């Protein structure tokens, strides 16, 4: 199998485990090689979450999305590198080293689904699964010039996903073309008894997406606030797309996101609070690596010292905002900001069919650029509002490390993907 040879060579540090001896099954995805982000459980294949603390963890079960892919005939061929516990925007926070951008190895590929996007961008696999908490599918998809989709929260089961922030985490596909992305979405979506947060809605319908793509003549909203904070090159590429859409007979109107200035701080309060709670389970008692100490406290300390610097930072921030006296001052205020952003985003779709905005505010930095944590966090400025709102968002690759987000109403994933199908005709 040629794809396995390319995975073994792995010049991008995008692969953590090559899955050998895979026989594809029969079904709608028969023979399709799929790489899976290494925070998604695969039975009998180690799942590290990019962390030393889970370096040798082998799950006894498949995540629901993996089980559905296998049932559809797909071949799971690799587990991909990622920022540790999906905490990062560049792919540099992995305990197993940074992933390289397939189009320029000196640049970051984006994170946290760095390995998945890099393998698709390099043409090694046609599609990979990623997870998105604040932009972790969309940003690497933009940096690696591929399609990436964050579904509506609850449209795809999270059973088997190693949790970062449970109210924000979603699993979605990264693909070389929009049709492959839609085919995978059709398979992995739908309700799941093992995940109580899944929506009671039928699986994604490729037919409905294609029907929306054929409609034409859309009313498109453009987030004016975002155009003021992106780099000149990104603004030019994005406006070139908007100009083409206008020439195709679509109506373009400006929309604003006044609550957008609260999105990044609200996201980091909520996400770190949930991470602090979720990662408390990695204590060396139940599973994962255990480093023995003289007593239980020292065992905890030694074991949890295996977390990387960024994970430790977010656990500490989350513990702080949940602590007595700060819960109301930070966490409850962040939840209020989230509600306001969600209401504002939902209000857009009374007047427009879809909303477009750039995916990345800047071009990808060099690996090892040494930015401050806040500078790295700002890479997610344009993606986190839609994570907080829980709505479906598609990254459309515009080339040269630039992407555009297609935002659709909550639950209408077919609209976002269908508009992507429409746009793909003249990219």
Instruction: Enumerate the active-site residues.
Output: 37, 112, 136
Interatomic CA distance for residues 370 and 368, integer angstroms = 5
Q: Strands 251-255, 219-223: parallel, antiparallel or unpaired by DSSP? A: parallel
What is the chain's length? 427
Asked if 198 contacts 192 with a C-beta cutoff of 8 angstroms, the reply is yes
Q: Strands 15-18, 75-80: parallel, antiparallel or unpaired by DSSP? A: antiparallel
E strand or H helix at 95:
none
Interatomic CA distance for residues 295 and 292, integer angstroms = 8
**Residue 336 corresponds to which tokens in the numbers above?**
């209020």
- Report how far apart, in Å, the C-alpha atoms of 160 and of each of 32, 170, 171, 405 are: 21, 11, 10, 27
E strand or H helix at 148:
strand 147-150
Interatomic CA distance for residues 62 and 161, integer angstroms = 10
């Amino acid at each position: 199998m040629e794809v396995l040879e390319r995975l073994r060579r792995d010049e991008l540090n995008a692969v953590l485990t090559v899955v050998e001896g895979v026989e594809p099954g029969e079904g709608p995805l028969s023979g399709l090689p799929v790489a899976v982000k290494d925070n998604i459980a695969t039975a009998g294949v180690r799942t590290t979450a990019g962390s030393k603390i889970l370096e040798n963890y082998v799950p006894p079960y498949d995540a629901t999305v993996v089980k559905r892919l296998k049932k559809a005939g797909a071949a799971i061929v690799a587990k991909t590198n990622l920022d540790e516990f999906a905490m990062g925007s560049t792919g540099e926070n992995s305990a197993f080293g940074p992933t390289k951008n397939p189009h320029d190895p000196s640049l970051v590929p984006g994170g946290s689904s760095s390995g998945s996007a890099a393998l698709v961008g390099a043409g090694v696999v046609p599609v990979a699964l990623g997870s998105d908490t604040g932009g972790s599918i969309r940003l690497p998809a933009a940096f690696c010039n591929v399609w990436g989709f964050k579904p509506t929260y609850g449209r795809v089961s999270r059973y088997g996903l190693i949790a970062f922030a449970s109210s924000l985490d979603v699993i979605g596909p990264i693909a070389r073309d929009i049709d492959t992305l839609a085919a995978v979405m059709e398979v992995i979506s739908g309700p799941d008894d093992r995940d109580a947060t899944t929506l009671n809605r039928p699986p994604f319908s490729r037919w409905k997406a294609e029907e929306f793509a054929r409609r034409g003549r859309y009313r498109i909203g453009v987030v004016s606030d975002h155009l003021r904070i992106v780099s000149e090159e990104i603004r030019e590429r994005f406006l070139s797309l908007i100009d083409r859409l206008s020439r195709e007979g679509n109506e373009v109107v400006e929309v604003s996101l006044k609550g957008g200035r609260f999105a990044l701080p609200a996201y980091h309060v909520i996400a770190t609070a949930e991470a602090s709670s979720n990662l408390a389970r990695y204590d060396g008692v139940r599973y994962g690596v255990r480093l023995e100490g003289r007593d239980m406290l020292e065992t905890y300390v030694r074991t949890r010292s295996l977390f990387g610097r960024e994970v430790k930072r977010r656990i500490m921030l989350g513990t702080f905002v949940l602590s007595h006296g700060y819960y109301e001052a930070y966490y409850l205020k962040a939840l209020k900001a989230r509600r306001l952003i969600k209401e504002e985003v939902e209000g857009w779709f009374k007047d427009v069919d879809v909303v477009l905005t750039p995916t990345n505010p800047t071009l990808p930095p060099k690996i090892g650029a040494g930015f401050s944590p806040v500078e790295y966090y700002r890479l997610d400025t344009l993606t986190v509002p839609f994570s907080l709102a829980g709505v479906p968002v598609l990254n459309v690759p515009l080339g040269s490390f630039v992407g555009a987000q297609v935002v659709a109403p909550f639950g209408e994933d077919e609209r976002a993907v269908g508009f992507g199908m429409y746009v793909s005709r003249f990219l």
